Amino acid sequence: MKPLKNIILLLLAVFACAFIPHERIYPETINWDTHFKGNPDPNSHFAAVTSTIWQYGYRSTIRGNNLQLEFNFLGGVDANKSWVKRERIRNKEASSRLLNHEQGHVYINFILLKKGEYILKNQSYTVSNYKRLIDKTAKDISKFYSDMQERYDVETKHGSDLEAQKKWDAFFESELSQL
């Protein structure tokens, strides 16, 4: 009777754990004081610039023809390269709009981090192709999201086109809800 009771308790524990929410990682929520510590470029006509980071690394272990890869990823805001010209912000509303636009750059970087991680970890590699394939894939992913950063600025006119900004905000909400 005791082994049956232990099995039932184990099954109940496994069942209960299935409903425990798993930790979810969210993008940074930026603010002017914490994330914009760099010196503004006096020659730039922009009121703010958000500098983001995406880095990856991996360790490979090869035994015969068996390849084992262990990836690590880093992403976020480089506060020392991000800056704001506070004198260009007229009021709270303008500050909120501009910060929202800059948050979009953080969202693109976060999507890059999560989707890039997924693609790199789930790609098929061989002993003979893994170095070249990881490098090429990472460059392709990076270029895609770098182009997206530029397209975001062009389409939103750096946040001044409010209708375009709303469309991008909806896109971010949709993409982030899937991660």
Q: What is the pLDDT of residues 55-100, one digit of tens each?
A: 999 999 999 889 999 999 999 999 999 999 999 999 999 999 999 9
Alpha-carbon dihedral 86, 92, 94, 96, rounded to 10 degrees: 100
Domain boundaries, the chain: 27-177
> Could you tell me what percent of the chain has a pLDDT over 70?
86
pLDDT of residue 9: 40
Structure tokens at 64: 């015969």
Stretch 33-53: mean pLDDT, rounded?
Answer: 96
pLDDT of residue 10: 39
64: left (phi over 0), alpha (psi -120 to 50) or beta: left
Stretch 118-135: mean pLDDT, rounded?
Answer: 96
pLDDT of residue 26: 78
> 17, exposed or middle or buried, with CB in 10 Å at 0-12, 13-18, 19+?
exposed
pLDDT band with cut points at 50, 70 and 90 for residue 179: confident
- pTM equals 0.83
Instruction: Please state, rounded to an integer, the average pLDDT across all residues of the chain.
Output: 89
pLDDT band with cut points at 50, 70 and 90 for residue 1: low
For the chain, what percentages of helix, strand and coil (3-state, to nearest 5) are there? Answer: 55, 15, 30
Backbone phi, then psi, for 42, in 5-degree steps? -65, -20
Flag whether pLDDT at 21 surpasses 60: no
Structure tokens at 138: 């990472």
Alpha-carbon dihedral 120, 122, 128, 134, rounded to 10 degrees: -10
Structure tokens at 80: 């020392």
- Compare 98 and 3 and report the one with higher pLDDT: 98
∠ Cα 21 24 28 (to 5°): 150
